[in-house]
Structure 1
Amino acid sequence: MLKKLPVLLLLAVLLPGYAVAGEDYVGSLITATPYEGRQLAIKLARKSIGEMQSDSAVKMEVRAKYSRDGETLIEAAGVIAMEFATIAAANNYWRE
């Protein structure tokens, strides 16, 4: 988990938006299309970071360190992929 923390912090910095503690920003995992599901996956990954690290100065520090690290960016994409897999399953893979 500690290895993933820099990746999660990077997501929070690179992707716009902020999480508010206690805010229900999900509503549902059900989406109309795979594209909407992917957007939700990105949002979930981003919001998770906001819940863990609310200090924007720390987020900017992490961004400066990791934004040019290809391996870290690939790991960040993996976090989004895990969220998307959950959403896809919840949507029965958008089968009719």
Structure 2
Amino acid sequence: MSNTIDLIPGNTLITDSPLEGRILAIKMARLIIKATQPDDQIRDKLRDIYARDAGMLISIGHTVAIEFATIAAANNYWKK
């Protein structure tokens, strides 16, 4: 990978709330796609393909869920 991508924005998984954790999970999932396919033009061409494929959309949701589970664990499930 020639360009450095900040795969953990702000270098922390700690968030103030579950909502912020969910937003971070979505951001991290998007960064995974960018790191895997760094070419903007190719990603733009592929977007139409996966936007119409239910299986691929479910896979994206699964990726976000895994990221969110990791963030929730890092935040001790927001227990105070």
- TM-score if structure 2 supplies the norm length? 0.85
Residue 37 of structure 1 corresponds to 21
The one-character-per-residue Cα deviations of 1:3-50 (angstroms, maximum 9, x if unpaired) are xxxxxxxxxxxxxxxxx6154624210100000000111111111221
Aligned residue type for 2:51: S
Q: Any conservation in 1 of the 2:5–2:35 contact (CA below 8 Å)?
A: no
Q: Which runs of 5+ in 2 are unaligned?
A: none
Structure number with the higher helix fraction is: 2
Q: List structure 1 runs of 4+ shifted beyond 3 angstroms.
A: none
- TM-score if structure 1 supplies the norm length? 0.72
User: Would you say 1:46 and 2:50 are equivalent positions?
Assistant: no
Task: Kindly tell me the number of residue pairs found equivalent between the two proteins.
Answer: 77
Question: After the TM superposition, which residues 1-96 of structure 1 pair with which residues of structure 2 at under 5 Å, given as runs?
Answer: 21-23=4-6, 25-96=9-80
State, as a whole percentage, how many aligned pairs show the same letter: 45
Q: Which runs of 5+ in 1 are unaligned?
A: 1-19
